[in-house]
Amino acid sequence: MEVFDGKKAAQDYMSKHTLAFSTPELTLMRFAFWMGDTVPDPDDDEKGIPRMMTYLIEQDFEPVLIDDETYVPSGAVRSSASVGNAFSESKTDGKFCSECGNNLSMTAKFCPECGTTQE
C-alpha cells in the first residue's frame, strides 16, 4: 500500500523556503501549491508528475479498527486485585464472572482474566 509521507514533505518544504513574515494560513497555502508543482518523473524523464507523488512510500500494514464495545485483555495486568482498584472496596458480595468464574469487584465492567463484559 502506498501512503503519503507528509512529515518528510513538510520538512523538505520548511528547509527550503523562508517563512519569516508568513502567517500560518499563507504558509499552508504556499505548501499546498508547492506540493502540486510539476516535477520530472523519476521513472520517465519525458513526463512530469505532481511533487506530491514523489512522497509516496510503500508500507505493509492493516488499518487498526477500535471497537469500544469489546474488551480484549492484553495480559499486561493479570488481576486488578494485585494492582489496585480506583474504587477501593473492603468486601465482595459474591460477584463472579459469568464466563470463567473469576472473583470480581462490584464496580467491574469487564473480567480482567477473560475479558467478558459484566452486567
CA atoms within 13 A on the CB side of 45: 0
Using a CB cutoff of 8 Å and minimum separation of 24, what contacts does 33-41 make? 35/9
Per-residue tens of pLDDT for the chain, all 119 residues: 677 788 888 888 888 777 656 678 788 888 888 888 888 988 888 888 998 888 888 877 776 677 777 777 776 665 555 555 555 555 556 688 888 888 888 888 888 888 888 87
Question: Which pTM value belongs to this model?
Answer: 0.39
